[in-house]
Structure 1
Amino acid sequence: MANSKRTLFLKRRMRVRNKLRKMNAGRLRLSVHRSSKNISAQLIDDVKGVTLASASSLEKELGIVGKNNVEAAAKVGAKIAERAKAAGIENVYFDRGGFLFHGKVKALAEAAREGGLKF
C-alpha cells in the first residue's frame, strides 16, 4: 500500500528535526512553515518550550498580506533576522521541517543569513 503525501511529509519532518537536534544541542531553532497562502518563521527555545520571536506573511506591517511568493518569503526572513537581533540572538539552526530547501524556504533562509543570523 502506498504512503500518502501527508504521511511521507511527517516522516521527512521528524527525520530532519531529529538529525538537527542531535547536531545542534543547546542552540535555538529557526522553524519554517509554508502553506499554500502564507509563510511563517519562529525562533524556538526547545529547552524551555518557548517561542522567542516570530514573523509571518500575515503581518500587515510587512505589506505582503495575501501574497505567497519568493519576495514575500525574503521579507519574512529579513524580519525574523531583525527581531532575532533585537532579542540578542545570533546563532540558530535552521529547521526546514518537511519542506524542501528550494524556492520560498531557500529565499527565507538566505534573507535571514543576510540579516545577520548564523546557521
Structure 2
Amino acid sequence: MKDKKQSRLRRARQARARIAGLKAVRLSVFRTNQHIYAQVISACGGKVLAAASTVETDIRKDVPNGGNVAAAQTVGKLVAERARKAGIEEVAFDRSGFKYHGRVKALAEAARENGLKF
C-alpha cells in the first residue's frame, strides 16, 4: 500500500511529463494546511516567471488565514496579474497531483477570471 504523498507525487510526475511534451508554460500549485503557493514556470522548466503565495506579507494583511478558499482566490488573482505583467496569457495547469477541488479549484478559477487561459 502506497502512502498518500507517494501517490500524489506519482500523479504529479505523470501530469508534468504530459505538460513537458506540450512545451507549455505551466501554472504549478502547491498547498499545505496553512498556505497555498502558485508559480508560473517557463516551458523549459528552469525559470519561475511569476509567483504568489499566502506567505507574502502583503497577502497576509488581506487574508489572516492562508489555508482557506478565500486565500486561494487571492493568490490565484495575484499570480494571474503577475503573469500577464510578464507577458504570459496561456498556461497549462499543473495541480501537482492534488484533486481539482476546494482550494486548488478556487485558485484556478480566480486565475482564469483574471485573464490566464488554460
State whether TM-score is above 0.5: yes
Give the Å deviation of 1:45: 0.8
Q: Runs of 4+ in structure 1 displaced over 6 angstroms? A: none
Deviations 1:46-92 (A, max 9, x none): 41611011000111212225431001000000000110111111011
1:65-104 to structure 2, matched below 5 A, reads 65-104=64-103
Hey, what's the Cα distance between the residues in 2 that align with 1:34 and 1:48?
A: 20
Where does the alignment leave 5 or more consecutive residues of structure 2 unmatched? none
- Give the secondary structure class of the aligned counterpart of 1:42: strand
Hey, what's the Cα distance between the residues in 2 that align with 1:85 and 1:11?
A: 31
Hey, what's the Cα distance between the residues in 1 that align with 2:87 and 2:112?
A: 15
- Give the secondary structure class of the aligned counterpart of 1:33: strand
Identity between Structure 1 and Structure 2 (%): 47
Where does the alignment leave 5 or more consecutive residues of structure 1 unmatched? none
Deviations 1:3-41 (A, max 9, x none): 12222111111112222322x22x211000001110010
Q: Could you tell me the TM-score, scaled by structure 1's length?
A: 0.90
Q: Could you tell me the TM-score, scaled by structure 2's length?
A: 0.91
RMSD: 1.3
Contact 2:66 2:72 in 1 (8 A): no
